[in-house]
Amino acid sequence: MDWLDSIFTLQTFTQAILVLCLICAAGLALSKIKIGGISLGVTFVFFTGILAGHFGIRINYDMLLFAQNFGLVLYIYSLGVQVGPGFFTSFKQGGIKLNLLATSVLVLGSAMAVALVPVTGIGLSEMMGLLCGAVTNTPMLGAGQQTLLQIDPGNMDGSNEMALACAVGYPFGVIGVILSVIVLKAVFGKKYSRGVQKDESLENTFVAEYHVSNPAVFGHSIKEIMPLSGRKFVISRVWKDGKVIIPASDTVIDEDDHLLIISGKHDVDAIRTLFGDRENIDWNKKDIDWNSIDSELVSRHVLVTKPNLNGVKLGSLKLRNSYGINITRVNRAGIDLLASPSLRLQLGDKLTIVGETKAIDNVATILGNQEKQLRNPNLFAIFIGLAIGLVIGSIPFTIPGMSMPVKLGLAGGPIITGILMGAFGPRLHLSIYTTRSANLMLRQLGLIIYLAGLGLSAGKDFFETVFRTEGLVWIGVSFLLAVVPVLIVGWIATRWAGVDYAGNVGMLCGSMANPIALDYANTTVDGDEPSVAYATVYPFSIFLRVISIQIILLVFS
């Protein structure tokens, strides 16, 4: 059995890959365990790696570094591509308020961490590790480790200490935020959960029928009426004397016509003022059979799969005038968007089209509608994006007042590139589309490999540290860093900023990059408002966390 023993003890490439695979597999198996209905998810991979390191399992050092760094880059870039499309739109209207509050959590927590360094005697690198654990943010940890090595390439001990501190603080970061949610629910949940106006920019499309009774629009075409409203909406169907037609831009609106209009819910009052009374029919029910509404028209979903349409404005295709169809909705990544002429199409968009069967077939041919084409991963875009991100991360730039140039590093460069590719790739006609399952696979694979390597490198001294007085201090500090900023900003958000409980806890979980706490928060309310608020602040919070730890280390080291 010497061969079996050698597989685990001799530090070869095979042994390194085998050990990492076993750590990942064991951690994922443990991730199904729930305590009080709460699971730490893939974080169990991190703790499995720590356990393996504690029992003396070692792998080739270069292989360990490669696994950590490549896993981190893959995870960070895929994360950037995922959040990119919503990154800049998250600053619109009420999103600005939520992002400012989330930034306050970051600033307060960072200030507390820096202030606690001289008070507790904890080193700056260890304190930053505790902060990473308290905010359950592994990309932030990766950026901090890279910055430490940038300042002193030989400071591997400092990098490992940071990972060790993060491992100590991580469970208490999760517990601390969940306890904060419980406190906010007890204090503000009932009093403020109702009656607070929701952020209109976060609402989906709304369908309503209007009876034309405003003399100002009688006898005018749709293209003449549209500029009068100052709002974006789509007229899906027009009923004239009981007969349905697909409207074109030159369709004339007459008295007693009935219009089926898709708009934002916040525009309903303005549209009612423009056309006339809204009919008391609920057109937003999920079980509506649109094909049974009239016998002459059908409603179908068509996929955009032709690469040459990526980034093209919907209005430039002139599909309505050419084929007599109407595009009522564009579904992108599960979110319904208004099919306005200025909307730029992306590969994978699902268009809801109303019209005659033959006309829709012709439009489907133009758009592609070949689902098989979307299943093939666009590996070229992934590797080009990774390469660009690494180059950007290696560029030094000077910030006034700092003694040495700053580099975005392995974490900062790829996340910025991923965000920009996700946000602007379609506008530049770059085909970056990856199915949601493929993107999730890349993200999870990168994160799990990174956590396995990170845990293995930190495991050697983990238990010795935790059960010393120093470890108890670390636990207390990480708990404070997790709870105090969340409670303070949560109180301000509800009492002074007018954010309701559901939006508040979602924002706080997003600012702490804590999906585990979000899962718990979602169980305390009806609806998905916590998830919406989480998604609104998460991209900007991740970006700020990755950049802020680098600035703190460069300024105070």
pLDDT tens-place string over residues 390-422: 998 888 877 776 666 777 777 778 878 888 887
Residue-level pLDDT at 244: 82
Q: Give residue-wise pLDDT tens across range 322-344.
A: 888 888 888 876 667 778 888 88
Locate 277 and state its tokens.
């009374």
* pLDDT of 103 above 90: yes
Q: Residues 242-260: pLDDT tens digits? A: 788 888 888 899 999 999 8
- Tell me what the pLDDT averaged over the chain comes to: 82
Which residue type sits at 124?
Answer: L
Four-residue CA torsion sign, 362, 364, 367, 369: negative
Residue 285 neighbours by CB distance under 10 Å: 8
> What is the pLDDT at residue 476?
93
Q: Minimal CA–CA distance to 53: which of 391, 490, 456, 479?
A: 456
Place of tokens 């470890």: 471
- Whether residue 320 contacts residue 354, with contact meaning beta carbons closer than 8 Å, is answered with no
CA pair distance 85, 513, nearest whole angstrom:
18
What tens digit of pLDDT does each residue of 31-63 get? 888 776 666 677 788 889 989 988 888 898 889
Domain at 200-373: CATH code? 3.30.70.1450
The DSSP string of 463-510 is HHHHTSHHHHHHHHHHHHHHHHHHHHHHHHHHHTS---HHHHHHHHHH
- pLDDT tens digits along 422-459: 778 767 767 677 777 777 888 889 889 988 988 888 78
> How is residue 171 written in tokens?
């469970």
The pTM score is: 0.68
pLDDT tens column, 132-151: 989 988 778 888 888 888 88
Residue 292's pLDDT band (boundaries 50, 70, 90)? low
Half-sphere exposure in the Cβ direction for 266 (13 Å, CA)? 13
Classified as helix, coil or strand, 512 is: coil
- Percentage with pLDDT > 90 across the chain: 21
Query: In the predicted model, is pLDDT for residue 25 greater than 90?
Result: yes
Written as six digits, the tokens of 80 are: 């950037």
Query: Distances from the Cα of 203 to the Cαs of 28, 93, 161, 345, 547, in angstroms?
Result: 36, 12, 45, 20, 31
Q: How far apart are CA 428 and CA 435, in angstroms?
A: 20
Reported as type and span, the H/E element at residue 54 is: helix 43-54
pLDDT score for 519: 66
Burial class (CB in 10 A: 0-12, 13-18, 19+), 341: middle
Confidence label for 193 from pLDDT (cuts 50, 70 and 90): very low
Residue spans of the domains in the chain: they are: 2-197+380-556, 200-373
pLDDT score recorded for residue 524: 75
What would the mean pLDDT of 268-285 be, rounded to a whole number?
86
Helix, strand and coil in the chain, % to nearest 5: 65, 10, 25
Beta bridge partners of 259: 210, 238
Q: How far is CA 171 from CA 475, 483, 530, in A?
A: 9, 13, 22
At what angle are helices 138-151 and 436-458 packed, to 10 degrees? 50
Work out the average pLDDT over 365-382: 82
pLDDT of residue 11: 81
